Structure 1
């Protein structure tokens, strides 16, 4: 055992990509095990269910100091991450779009990114004039936003043309040492989903 975190998922982005982003941004090295079949997935689920059935129920309560500056900052981080997650859901599902609906869905992603999501973050960065989204400290929200920006740009290259604050944010974040390393070829970052990835997901998760 190396002591490194081990991620078990399909060899592709999916919902695991955000975890790869977070660990890499924090400078945490990790290992990966790639699922190749549905049987492997079911075996993993069985192991995890057995583990959790023998474990105490976790507590998800928020700390009582809800009015403190720290808690307010945490709430804002959560709020921004949730907003980005809504946009990322559209990106995650796009590869599974039927061919006849791809153009329409791509237009929807572009419209929602430029009309709903990115204006909010552009305004936040402009109003407080700081480098990061919350408290001028690097947080999960910054990583999530950069991931979303780059994911949308892969499909709509000009999406940031009307957002100078986000352009500057993207440049600054992309040049942070740990993130810059993650963006280089050969890193754990996965390429955009292709037909092979879609087929693998459909087979392992038995999606209709």
Structure 2
């Protein structure tokens, strides 16, 4: 119907657009802060994550000469997250999957390797 992704079916509705989906789920499960100041902090954190995600998604497809600069950007964005983390509600930080992810040394999916990038280029090229 909407011919878009992401699309989520929830509560009899079809929601599109990432921010709309996230806002709906956050409001439904009372995860969007107790007041306007807390909501603003959550928005700052989520926008930071979105910015970082965009840099990370493009990283495997950059020419080798551009990867160092992009890696520096990733490190710069990432170092701000501990400050944002203090602003999040304890309840969210204590969710088992979130708590596990936030632990130092937790498993993270590695960047895509050159073989994957070449296969993807062939598929869409």
- Is residue 83 of structure 2 the alignment partner of residue 123 of structure 1? yes
Using the TM superposition, give the Cα deviation of residue 98 of structure 1 relative to its aligned residue in structure 2, in angstroms: 0.7
Q: Is the 8 A contact 2:41 2:84 kept in 1?
A: no
Unaligned runs of 5+ residues in structure 1 are: 1-46, 147-168, 175-182, 184-188
Contact (CA 8 Å) 2:56, 2:74: kept in 1 or not?
Answer: yes
Q: Which has the higher contact order (CA 8 A, sep 6+)?
A: 1
The alignment partner of 1:137 has SS state of helix
Moved runs in structure 1, 4+ residues, more than 4 A?
A: 55-63, 70-75
User: Which residue in the other structure is 1:137 paired with?
Assistant: 91
Q: CA RMSD in A?
A: 4.2
Aligned equivalents of 2:14 and 2:103: distance in 1?
39
1:100 positional shift: 2.4
Equivalent residues in 2 for 1:44-55 (5 A)?
49=3
Deviations 1:104-139 (A, max 9, x none): 3333333x33xxx523x33345xx5xxxx5221125
* Runs of 5+ consecutive residues of structure 2 not aligned to the other structure: 28-32
Figure out how many residues of one structure are paired with residues of the other and give that number.
Answer: 102
Structure label with greater radius of gyration: 1
- What TM-score do the two structures reach when normalised by structure 1? 0.35
